[in-house]
Amino acid sequence: MKRFGHATAHTRRRCTSFKKNRMNTILKFAFITLTIASCQGRQKEILSDSSSDSEIPVVTDTVDVQSKFLVGDEYKSHIKLDFAISKQKFHDTNNIKPIKDICAISVIPDTSWINSKQRSMPEDEWNTIVSDNQFYEQIAIDTLEKLDIPTLFAPREKRYIKFLKSNGKECFLDLGKMYNAWGLILFNGNDDPVLWSSTDIDNEIKEIYGK
């Protein structure tokens, strides 16, 4: 697969069209299997083992994450996750996944949201959405891994992800407030994580990871 920066004119036209319609093409169902297969070994090193097979419930103050990428007429390639950062103190760690290393984490929406979107459109449209999303996210993952930035998969059995920063401070991300978040959570080890969901990760490579 060609990297995005070296895409053909046809691929660039696909990219332009994809950006304009990103709000309607955020589903990545087929990519779940690919990500699990490629990241299963590495995620064990950083993500704690899951103790539950059920998804976390959507909380009442959850946020429509995808709408935050669109600011006026401009689509942002990544957003801050201030709205999903929890300030509460935790005594029970069973519902927390710890992250201590620089990485990217693939996150998908809860299954009820995916199923609803899949039922709401024709099969051929669904297949196109799957193909486009798989194409661009795999390019991002390949680019990250060439720079020795591992990509992990974060299922939704546990509600919180704890990021341990280089200064010793902790950041707790509440997945319950991100019911339709789908993309890559980017963590550079120093700052609060951000969520990427776009067609090109080159800017984030420089801005977030400094590479």
Q: Summarize pLDDT for 76-99 with one digit per residue, the tens.
A: 999 999 999 998 888 888 899 999
CB 46 within 8 A of CB 99: yes
Range of the domain at 22: 4-207
pLDDT at 48 over 50: no
174 Cβ contact list (under 8 Å, min separation 6): 59, 84, 85, 86, 159, 160
Strands 103-107 and 96-99 come out as unpaired
What is the predicted pLDDT for the residue at 57?
A: 53
Q: How many angstroms separate the Cα of 77 from the Cα of each of 21, 47, 167, 179, 184?
A: 13, 25, 27, 19, 11
Is the pTM higher than 0.85? The answer reads: no
Question: In this predicted model, what pLDDT tens digit does every residue of 31-46 receive, in sequence order?
Answer: 433 333 333 334 434 4
What is the predicted pLDDT for the residue at 148?
A: 97
Please give the tally of structural domains in the chain.
1
Amino acid (1-letter code) at residue 133: N
CB 147 within 8 A of CB 188: no
Greater pLDDT, 5 or 91: 91
Question: In this predicted model, what pLDDT tens digit does every residue of 101-123 receive, in sequence order?
Answer: 999 999 988 888 888 888 999 98
